[in-house]
Amino acid sequence: MLEELRNRVYEANMALPEYKLITFTWGNVSGIDRDSNLVVIKPSGVAYEDLTPETLVVVDLEGEIIEGDFNPSSDTATHLELYKNFKDIGGIVHTHSPWAVSFAQAGKSIPVAGTTQADYFYGDIPVTRAMKNEEIEIDYELKTGSVIIETFQKNKIDPNRIPGVLVNDHGPFTWGKNPEEAVHNSVVLEQVAEMTYHSLQLSSDNIYMSQVLLDKHYLRKHGDNAYYGQN
């Protein structure tokens, strides 16, 4: 089933070690077919050198395995919760990339300090609140998705304009219109986390860029009158 999506999700997963976003099996990529509402995701704990398109798992939005010989990623319920609530996304990435995790473990959002972040994220990359004991103890992965949704709804954040989040004490999730874009956003998030960390070391004062510059850089790529790139 979903042969083309399987291949794309496989290639997206293999990009994680290529871009040094993961160590061992600390990450996963999924993609959704919105016509069938089926999700292709990395199997749990399978080493990347052993991964093939055929080892990927197909699940429905309730997490039932439709096709595959392996257990899906332990983060599957988080992915599914995001797909159910962020209707425009087609791919999700989770990693434990070190600079992004540094902000997550500190419980700090990544402030929009410069144009690199502004080209992809229309504002701060938010961090979720710490999860409650009962959320950790029961349906942890599903509740991880729920706390991400809560963060975006409470703060009136558009997930299409901020395609990523830091889960408090855990790490980053990014998304996009397809698995490839989700990986792209994950690479960018890690890069801006490192840049911003160093910026904060150089100056702990307000490092925010101006709203005018933020608007210019984000909207020239993503606005109604975008002019970045080729037609």
- The alpha-carbon radius of gyration of the chain (Å, integer) is 17
CA 93 to CA 108: how far, in whole Å?
Answer: 20
Residue 122 among the catalytic residues: no
In the chain the first and final C-alpha atoms are separated, in Å, by: 34
- Name the catalytic one among 19, 33, 48, 119: 119
Residue 227 among the catalytic residues: no
CA 69 to chain centre: 26
| DSSP symbols for 119-187 | TT-SS-B-BPPPPPHHHHHSSHHHHHHHHHHHHHHHTT--TTTS-EEEETTTEEEEEESSHHHHHHHHH
Enzyme catalytic residues: 119, 228
